[in-house]
């Protein structure tokens, strides 16, 4: 049975005081006692603070990106080993905002994923189609190519089983437009099929305007193993309710 996972993607939001207050809410509301893995991904400068606020709470810290390089003259980059040193266990890779605003290609996503795996981080690799692509009936073509790049790179070594996949339709991110549970389930099932044998054990998260009001229905789908949460992860009560919604619907 795949365990449920809910990941907070703060994007470029937050502050030390925000980190302090939301972590104390999550601890006092006993989110770690739920049968759900919960991970907070703050911007790089707050990783260490979030890690120390969470102490031994059982909640994890992750980063929103990682360099494809190990070290050296790469101004502005942050290496996988640095993330591990700060206590991160997870890293989001290939988010659609990075693909769109920083021209990240499948090739770069694979290189970053390789670096994360070699440092012992769990990569959360993001895939998803734009609205134009969906309307042109190209969802499976686009998502299939993004997934196949990972399958080609990591199947032979068996490392494909160490990935988490996040399906995030670009048109649903931050727009308030959520994929219907059926739409999301259809793509999740398609992705699981592409993963081959590893598909049985790889967690596939849904992301895109997940809110307390739609989380339970989405997480109740057989191939949806939790969520990658943007806007709602910045409101502690909303994030807590989303984590609870993941708990009642085990796959």
The minimum distance between CB 99 and ligand PGA, in angstroms, equals 11
The residue within the footprint of ligand PGA, chosen from 209, 214, 221, 249 (CB under 6 A), is: 209
C-alpha angle 97/102/105, rounded to 5°? 90
Catalytic residue among 95, 104, 129, 188: 95
For ligand PGA (CB under 6 A), the number of binding residues is 13
How far, in Å, CA of 44 to CA of 83, rounded?
9
Cβ neighbours of residue 151 under 8 Å, at least 6 residues apart? Answer: 160, 194, 195, 196
Residue 95 annotated as catalytic: yes
Q: Would you say 129 or 168 has its CB closer to ligand PGA?
A: 168
Residue 188 annotated as catalytic: no
According to the binding rule CB under 6 A, does residue 238 interact with ligand PGA?
A: no
Find out whether 83 and 43 touch, Cβ atoms under 8 Å. Answer: no
The residue within the footprint of ligand PGA, chosen from 115, 121, 160, 229 (CB under 6 A), is: 229
The minimum distance between CB 158 and ligand PGA, in angstroms, equals 28
According to the binding rule CB under 6 A, does residue 230 interact with ligand PGA?
A: yes
Token look-up 């030390």 returns 16
According to the binding rule CB under 6 A, does residue 231 interact with ligand PGA?
A: yes
Catalytic residue among 97, 129, 168, 188: 168
According to the binding rule CB under 6 A, does residue 133 interact with ligand PGA?
A: no
According to the binding rule CB under 6 A, does residue 214 interact with ligand PGA?
A: no
Q: Would you say 42 or 231 has its CB closer to ligand PGA?
A: 231
The minimum distance between CB 40 and ligand PGA, in angstroms, equals 13
Binding pattern for the stretch 166-195 against ligand PGA, x by CB under 6 A and - elsewhere: --x----xx---------------------
Residues classed as catalytic: 95, 168
Residues that bind ligand PGA (CB under 6 A): 9, 168, 173-174, 207-210, 228-232
């Amino acid at each position: 049975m795949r365990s449920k996972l809910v990941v907070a993607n703060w994007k470029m939001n937050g502050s030390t005081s925000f980190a302090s207050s939301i972590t104390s809410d999550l601890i006092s509301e006993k989110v770690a006692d739920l049968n759900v893995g919960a991970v907070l991904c703050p911007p790089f400068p707050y990783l260490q603070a979030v890690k120390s606020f969470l102490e031994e709470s059982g909640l994890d810290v992750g980063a929103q990106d990682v360099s494809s390089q190990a070290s050296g003259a790469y101004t502005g980059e942050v290496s996988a080993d640095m993330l591990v040193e700060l206590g991160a266990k997870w890293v989001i890779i290939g988010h659609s905002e990075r693909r769109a605003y920083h021209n990240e290609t499948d090739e770069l996503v694979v290189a970053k994923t390789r670096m994360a795996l070699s440092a012992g981080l769990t990569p959360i690799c993001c895939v998803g189609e734009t609205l134009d692509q969906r309307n042109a009936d190209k969802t499976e073509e686009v998502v299939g190519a993004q997934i196949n790049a990972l399958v080609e790179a990591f199947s032979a070594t068996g490392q494909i089983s160490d990935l988490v996949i996040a399906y995030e339709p670009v048109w649903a991110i931050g727009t308030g437009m959520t994929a219907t549970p059926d739409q999301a389930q259809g793509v999740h099932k398609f992705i699981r099929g592409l993963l081959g044998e590893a598909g049985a054990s790889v967690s596939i998260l849904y992301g895109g305007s997940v809110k307390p009001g739609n989380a339970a229905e989405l997480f109740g789908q057989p191939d949806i193993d939790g969520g990658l949460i943007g806007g709602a992860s910045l409101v502690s009560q909303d994030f807590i309710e989303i984590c609870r919604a993941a708990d009642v619907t085990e796959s």
